[in-house]
């Protein structure tokens, strides 16, 4: 039997495992120091190219900044009805863009999943997703404005094309993480390849796909507020006109409408995601 230390007696000596855990891990400390040193060097090299040395301009006799801040602190809600209509248009742009990305992204995700499709299909599909995801939706908005003109449609198309790559990537990762046993069970019944996907794969990924879709929608609402600046519809265009006209009280009211709307959508989306996952 192991002797137990009596109350008030000398404490038992710590085990070798505890001593090893308490011993300084010099290799980990050195690795962390090297990483932090590299980050500091990169920041130092970027100091002048990014003009960080001019940060004092924000506070040196900047009368324009003082005037702008003063006007922003006094928002003008005279045209609140217009702002709400434009904000609704922004949400609708994000909704259509997200839904189109999901509809077309789901089959592309299956083709980009290494446990579903052959390698010669997976590789080009992933590169296609990379290309779609690499180009910012604001760049796509500029291109589509040139093609179809000003309005909400370029915004919808920009969000759709950019998110096609994002949604496909997220969906394919969910497919690759599934449990293979249900798929094998469906296969033993003599099911076709399509039936294996419909009854073995899709039921497993639907909760994650739904959660990802809601997250992308709330992200796209934020993105859609910016697209209007280049003429792709929504409240961004109204904000840009107010800002360029130095009507900062109106711009402040528009920002408040944006923040409240996006916050409400974020809260609703977060609750729905918790229910799904």
d(CA 248, CA 153): 28
Contact between 104 and 90 (Cβ < 8 Å): no
pLDDT at 4: 53
pLDDT at 115: 85
- What pTM did the predictor assign? 0.77
- CA atoms lying within 13 Å on the CB side of residue 202: 9
d(CA 269, CA 236): 22
Label residue 191 exposed, middle or buried (CB < 10 Å: 0-12, 13-18, 19+): middle
pLDDT at 65: 65
d(CA 85, CA 161): 25
d(CA 41, CA 146): 42
pLDDT at 1: 47
Domain spans in the chain, listed from the N-terminal domain onward? 78-276
Nearest alpha carbon to residue 200 among 135, 115, 86 = 115
Domain 78-276 is classified in which CATH homologous superfamily? MetI-like (1.10.3720.10)
Nearest alpha carbon to residue 157 among 141, 168, 142 = 141
Per-residue pLDDT in tens (0 to 9) along the chain, 277 residues: 444 555 555 556 666 666 666 666 777 788 888 999 999 999 998 888 888 888 777 766 566 667 777 777 778 888 889 999 999 999 999 999 999 999 999 999 988 888 888 888 889 999 988 888 888 888 899 999 988 888 889 999 999 999 999 999 999 988 888 888 888 887 888 778 888 888 888 888 888 888 889 889 988 988 888 888 888 888 888 888 888 888 888 888 999 999 999 889 888 887 887 776 6
Contact between 150 and 219 (Cβ < 8 Å): no
């Amino acid at each position: 039997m192991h002797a137990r230390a009596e109350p008030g007696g000398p404490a038992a000596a710590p085990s070798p495992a505890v001593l090893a855990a308490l011993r300084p891990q010099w290799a980990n400390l050195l690795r962390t120091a090297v990483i932090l040193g590299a980050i500091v060097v990169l920041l130092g090299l970027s100091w002048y190219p990014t003009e960080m040395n001019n940060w004092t301009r924000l506070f040196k006799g900047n009368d324009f900044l003082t005037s702008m801040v003063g006007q922003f602190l006094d928002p003008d809600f005279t045209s609140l009805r217009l702002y709400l209509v434009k904000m609704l248009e922004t949400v609708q742009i994000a909704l259509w863009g997200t839904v189109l990305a999901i509809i077309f992204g789901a089959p592309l995700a299956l083709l980009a999943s290494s446990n579903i499709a052959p390698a010669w299909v997976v590789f080009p599909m992933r590169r296609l997703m990379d290309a779609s995801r690499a180009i910012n939706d604001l760049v796509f908005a500029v291109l589509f404005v040139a093609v179809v003109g000003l309005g909400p449609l370029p915004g919808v198309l920009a969000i759709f094309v950019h998110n096609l790559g994002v949604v496909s990537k997220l969906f394919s990762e969910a497919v690759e993480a599934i449990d293979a046993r249900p798929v094998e069970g469906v296969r033993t019944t003599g099911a076709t390849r399509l039936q294996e996907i419909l009854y073995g794969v899709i039921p497993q990924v639907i909760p994650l796909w739904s959660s990802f879709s809601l997250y992308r929608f709330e992200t796209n609402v934020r993105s859609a507020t910016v697209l209007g600046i280049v003429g792709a519809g929504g409240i961004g265009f109204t904000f840009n006109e107010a800002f360029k006209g130095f009507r900062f009280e109106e711009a402040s009211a528009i920002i408040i409408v944006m923040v409240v709307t996006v916050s409400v959508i974020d809260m609703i989306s977060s609750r729905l995601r918790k229910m799904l996952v």
